[in-house]
Amino acid sequence: MLSVLHALNGQLLAAMERAFPEAAAQAAAIGGESPGQPLDPQLGPASKPEFGDFQANGALSLAKPLGQPPRQIAQAIVQQLEADPAFSALCEPPQIAGPGFINLTLRPERLTAEVAARLADPRLGVPTAADEAGGQVPAPVVVDFSSPNIAKEMHVGHLRSTIIGDCLARVLEFRGYPVLRLNHVGDWGTQFGMLITHLKQVAPEALDTADAVDLGDLVAFYRQAKARFDEDEAFQSASREEVVRLQGGDPLSLKAWALLCEQSRREFQKIYDRLDIRLSERGESFYNPYLQAVVDDLRAAGMLVVDDGAGCVFLEGVSGKDGKPLPLIVQKRDGGFNYATTDLAALRYRFAQPPAGDGAGRVIYVTDAGQASHFAGVFQVARRAGWIPPHGRVDHVPFGLVQGEDGKKLKTRAGDTVRLRDLLDEAVERADADLRRRLEEEGRQEDETFIAHVATTVGLAAVKYADLSTNRITNYQFSFDRMLALTGNTAPYLLYAVVRIAGIARRGGDLKGGSSSAGGSGPASAPTLHFSEPQEWALIRELLRFDAVIAEVEAELLPNRLCSYLFELSQVFNRFYDQVPVLKADEPSRSSRLALCRLSADMLRLGLGLLGIPTLERM
């Protein structure tokens, strides 16, 4: 109901200005609001349903500058509101509560009109960014997420970055932003000297025979190479020489490097396909030609300082234990570069206008919270260097650890890091076992194709939702039993709500007319809507919150806000369905309630789709 909120805010502001024309200058001087709008209605959703739909608290902040009791101020504002025909057409008579809160309740006919509008809207009431900007297409948004390392398998530590980044990209795409989904893989650096040397010595046939090494071999291969590097000085020397050859463009070294990257990439893609993740790989190697320019530009700007032989930029407002500013090293003593140099080059490229860059208006990095200080330093240096334009926005989206049920970092029983492939396999296997047990208890017969499809959908959805429904900033405990439960804030609970509504159609309820983007079957003639029951109005008000929730996720980059909304919507729908007859109701209530069922299903399908979770018709 963001459009209603904006309309109400304008009406309240006009009423305040009419009631207290002298308050503008006083409020601006005391409250420090921006010139041109010194009064603030302080309008927001009501804290409790019994207070109505919205609550305006602006009267309280005017009490001191006006020298009047806030209830008296609220009464004067209400008198002006009631004299406004546009307001009276929108809301019931306002109610003053407590010290001066103004409670506002939308008229039933306005709520009904909002429902009708969403039934006819493929976007369910959510405008695009271009719509809000008068038709102007917004600048691209770069979302940097997942970022595994070559020659290593994806593990549970990559789960959060991949799932959170994909969700944020989906929400921004739905809002109409051109989104660049970038996978900043670790495909360059000194470790490749070690890997290539080991490859040439123990598996030279891999350089001439396709698919001679698969990723499973590469993981063991990496460990073997690392052990040799740590123990064998001759191998260390050969590895360092190999790095020089690789960076110098030696054809054989580049061939070995490409083979290692391709073998890893192929295995990564299996995980991405399974999770329905779309990514464009742009690894560290992409930015290699731009590294020297980063150092040169920082030197030209007078920001680069040589300290103990290394080129660095001292950060402003960030001090070490000795009280001195901390440095961000961008060039090592030997003239080489590091992660900070690469990240600066990437940020510089992403904000630069085409053809020299991506022309982004916003860049989002989804990494673990342990990198927060690193990115804070990179962002500061980039801003000081002028690489982030004044209108540009850069966000670090940190997330906590995935823990076992013992509260410690999730590990296998052997103490190893959990492979993502194994974790997803187990989720599907457990979902399969739960489904077979439930089918046996219900006496249902289903074929193996149905069981495999439902188990795969539920298992992967449970993993995704358990992660996304947790505030990403905190650690969370991974529990298959909890995430696969049919009750509580889980993916199976939400999927079952969609299945329950689909069952209404199978029993004769006409749910046609949903938008294709929201999972329906296309527009249909809208029924004459008639609502009278409290459960209907509660569901309507919940359905109309969707656009505000999407706006919150876009601004704050917190997918758990969307999860919480979908869970609450499912709860409200289930109460509505349990307490109010739908198929057995008389007209026009029957058609009106079926319309609410359809809108609820469309909203759940769309919301789950933005989380990267497909829905089911039966389960």
Q: What is the pLDDT of residues 564-603, one digit of tens each?
A: 999 999 999 999 999 999 999 999 999 999 999 999 999 9
Final residue in a domain of this structure, among 106, 121, 150 = 106
Q: Is 12 helix (H, G, I), strand (E, B) or coil?
A: helix
Alpha-carbon gap, residue 74 to 96, rounded angstroms: 7
**Phi and psi based region of residue 111 (left: phi greater than 0; alpha: psi -120 to 50; beta: remaining):** alpha
Rounded CA Rg of the chain: 29
Is 304 inside any structural domain?
A: yes
The predicted structure's pLDDT at residue 384: 97
Rounded to the nearest 10 degrees, the angle between the axes of helix 157-174 and helix 448-468 is: 90
Between the CA of residue 480 and those of 79, 273, 421, 484, what are the distances in Å?
A: 57, 22, 15, 6
Is 365 inside any structural domain?
A: yes
Please tell me whether residues 522 and 601 are part of one structural domain. yes
What are the residues facing 417 on neighbouring strands? 411
| Total domain count, the chain | 5
- Could you tell me what percent of the chain has a pLDDT over 70? 93
Q: Is 74 helix (H, G, I), strand (E, B) or coil?
A: helix
Alpha-carbon gap, residue 237 to 229, rounded angstroms: 9
pLDDT band at 189 (very low <50, low <70, confident <90, very high): confident
**Residues 50/39, Cβ–Cβ less than 8 Å:** no
pLDDT band at 223 (very low <50, low <70, confident <90, very high): confident
Residue 506 in this model has a pLDDT that exceeds 90: no
Please confirm whether the linkage preceding 355 is cis (ω < 30° from 0): yes
Please tell me whether residues 240 and 296 are part of one structural domain. no
Torsion angle (degrees, nearest 10) of CA 309, 314, 319, 324 = 60
The predicted structure's pLDDT at residue 527: 65
| Amino acid in position 155 | H
> Which of 183-192, 272-281, 354-363, 533-542 has the least mean pLDDT?
183-192
Torsion angle (degrees, nearest 10) of CA 66, 68, 70, 73 = -70
Please tell me whether residues 534 and 507 are part of one structural domain. yes
Give all strands of the β-sheet with 393-399 in edge-to-edge order: 280-281, 179-183, 141-144, 362-368, 393-399
- Listed in sequence order, the residues at least 6 apart from 302 whose beta carbon sits closer than 8 Å to its beta carbon are none
Is 213 inside any structural domain?
A: yes
Give the rounded distance of the alpha carbon of 548 from its chain centre.
15
Q: Could you report the per-residue pLDDT of 255-303, keeping only the tens digit for each?
A: 999 988 988 898 899 999 999 999 999 999 999 999 999 999 999 999 9
The predicted structure's pLDDT at residue 26: 55
Q: What pTM does this model have?
A: 0.91
Is 369 inside any structural domain?
A: yes
Please tell me whether residues 50 and 101 are part of one structural domain. yes
Is 155 inside any structural domain?
A: no
Please tell me whether residues 499 and 552 are part of one structural domain. yes
**Phi and psi at residue 546, in whole multiples of 5°?**
-60, -45
**Phi and psi at residue 169, in whole multiples of 5°?**
-65, -40
Is 266 inside any structural domain?
A: yes
Please tell me whether residues 441 and 353 are part of one structural domain. no
- Containing structural domain, residue 541: 491-610
